[in-house]
Chain A
Amino acid sequence: MTHQFDVAPPYTAVALHGVSPQPSHDEAARFDFLANLNKYLSGTLGPGNKQAYDTRVLPGFVAEHGCEPRDRFEIRHAMNRDPHHRFWSALKRNSMEMRQQNGRAMVLRQIDELNAKARQYNEGRDTLELDPSVAVPRYQSAIDIHCMPGSYHGEEAPGDVSAGANYDCGIFATTAGGLGALSDGGGQALVKWARTERPGWQPQRILDIGCTVGHNIVPLALAFPDCEVIAIDTAAPSLRYAHARAQSLGATNIRFVQANAEDLSRWSDASFDWVQTTMFLHETSGTALPRIIREGYRVLKPGGLMLHLEQPQYSDAMPLYEQFIRDWDAFNNNEPFWSAMHALDLKTILKASGFAESDLFVTGVRAVVDTEIFPSAGDEKEEDHGRAAVWHAYGAWKGGRPE
């Protein structure tokens, strides 16, 4: 039977791993509601924002100022006075807050069981290295990113994994299932890209920076089982969860290390074949980002790959309205570096770190999911800006791509 309506898959279709929170019937139903609410808000009410802009906000702006808005900020200030945009934003903010409440309710109800399971996978393994001397950087502590109470590093009890578990389980609701059964459509996409781009390549060492719960690095570790993968993050609760999650999925070749990527001095020059970030750079800061890229360049071997998966950067070619709507999360979903980061010229930053112009490339990457169950990326009629499972990969081969 053909399915007429664009709806989300059921939460019961997600794959559970060794430290997944076990959803009750009603907890799964809450995520079903939110996944479909998000589809409705982006697909049905979302286009009203552009209509409001075209029919009254832009004409009103021109009448008031005698010219069109010069940047996305002027559009935002004008749109924030429009009744449709205000109400739509209020609904969307509530959807984000409910996703956090629903995820935390499910996780914290079973926090003792989850912590016990995580301990079984973590205790006595040298593949989890926590370092309490690693401080939470200000760009992580200034605000709780995506309205996630406690962010990636908060603890409800000493040594717990709830921050990671909550982040992991709710990705389904936020993306309406767009990242697949293990919310790893980004990591699967990296595997597919590498195999197509450079068939037969077997990287020996990969560094994943800002790994959070490791959902995007596990597919790479499983695809290259002989590769030694180092995955770093500053948040211990996320790392405890990530390590247990990866071990339970059989990705035993990842070493999770609590470290700040601004200082990778414990790893020597030219020691990695691949340095990766996946939807991470926008959660850093104006000074941290170039430092991280400089350090990444230093530890990369000649011929090695640096790849950053992000939403598309804003450029002069991108209409100002689109820049404005892509900025929604920055100001309404606690992503304070999002707007500035997407306006950066990554090419210039990559070159300043040591890459040559000819080393650089940009390519499009879309989530790889089991399309029998999960929506295929890019099929949605209306993109949910900032959350779409379609990314730009900003990459560079150090000294040029090896033949």
Chain B
Amino acid sequence: MTEPVDWMIRANARAKGKRPDFLGDPDKERLLSMLMAVIGEVSVMRERMDTIERLLETRGTISRADIEGYRPDREAGYERAAMIREYIARIMRGPQQMMEAMQSDDKPVEELSQDLKDL
């Protein structure tokens, strides 16, 4: 009998190959990876809540096996994916706004404040 695999730890195994430096700071890279994992887990909880709500709506009472066995139909599948999309969009407000800022050449507000004083 071989040793059982500690799957919780082995699931996280590092892929061979030097990881690119994106943010210029290894601490930032690690924190982003943790934040992204939490963002993912919140999405998973929301989807689970949605499953529970849908099952309760149709059945009144449910078991954990019902949750595990739930298969959304086409319509429910779309609604849940749209819910995830909306959730991701809300989380990504900062990056989206940074992208939108590229399209304008806004002056610093301090400069604008000076301009308006004399307008």
Contacts and interface: CB of A to CB of B under 8 A. Distances in A.
Q: Do A and B bind?
A: yes
Interface of A: 1, 3-5, 7-10, 12-13, 24-26, 29-30, 32-34, 36-37, 39-40, 44-45, 47-48, 51-52, 55-56, 83-84, 86-91, 93-95, 97-98, 100-102, 104-105, 108-109, 111-112, 142-144, 147-151, 156-158, 331-332, 334, 336, 372-373
B23 A90 contact: yes
A170 to B, nearest CB: 12
Interface string B15-31: 11101101110000100
B33 A36 contact: no
A5 B77 contact: no
B109 interface: no
Contacts of B12: 101, 104
Contact of B48 (A25, A86, A331): A25
Given A29-B48, A158-B2, A89 B8 contact: no
B84 to A, nearest CB: 4
Nearest to B100: A48
Given A33-B43, A40-B92, A334-B17, 18 more contacts: A3-B78, A7-B82, A7-B84, A10-B81, A24-B68, A25-B67, A33-B44, A45-B99, A47-B99, A56-B102, A83-B98, A94-B32, A98-B36, A101-B11, A108-B7, A112-B4, A156-B10, A336-B17
Interface of A is mostly: helix
Closest 4 A-B residue pairs measured CB to CB?
A108-B7, A7-B81, A90-B22, A48-B99
Contact of B80 (A4, A32, A156): A32
Interface of B: 2, 4-5, 7-8, 10-17, 19-20, 22-24, 29, 32-33, 36-37, 40, 43-44, 47-48, 51, 67-68, 70-72, 74-75, 77-78, 80-82, 84-85, 88-89, 92, 95-96, 98-99, 102-103
A108 B5 contact: yes
B16 A91 contact: no
Contacts of A45: 92, 95-96, 99
Contact of A90 (B29, B85, B92): B29
Contacts of B5: 108, 111, 156-157
Contacts of B24: 86
B12 to A, nearest CB: 6
A26 B17 contact: no
A334 B95 CA distance: 25
B32 A332 contact: no
B70 A25 contact: yes
A105 B15 contact: no
Contacts of A158: 2
Interface of B is mostly: helix
Contact of A36 (B19, B67, B85): B85
Nearest to B44: A29
B85 A7 contact: yes
B88 A13 contact: no
Contacts of B33: 94, 97
Nearest to B94: A87
Nearest to B75: A1
**Which among A7, A102, A109 has the greatest number of chain B C-beta atoms within 10 A?**
A7
Nearest to A111: B5
A36 B55 CA distance: 23
A197 B50 CA distance: 47
A334 B20 CA distance: 10
A157 B99 contact: no
A143 B17 contact: yes
A52 to B, nearest CB: 6
A302 B39 CA distance: 56
Given A3-B78, A44-B92, A90-B29, A100 B15 contact: yes
Given A29-B44, A97-B33, A8 B22 contact: no
B2 to A, nearest CB: 5
A56 B40 CA distance: 32
A89 B20 contact: yes
A149 B15 contact: yes
B13 A36 contact: no
Contacts of A56: 102
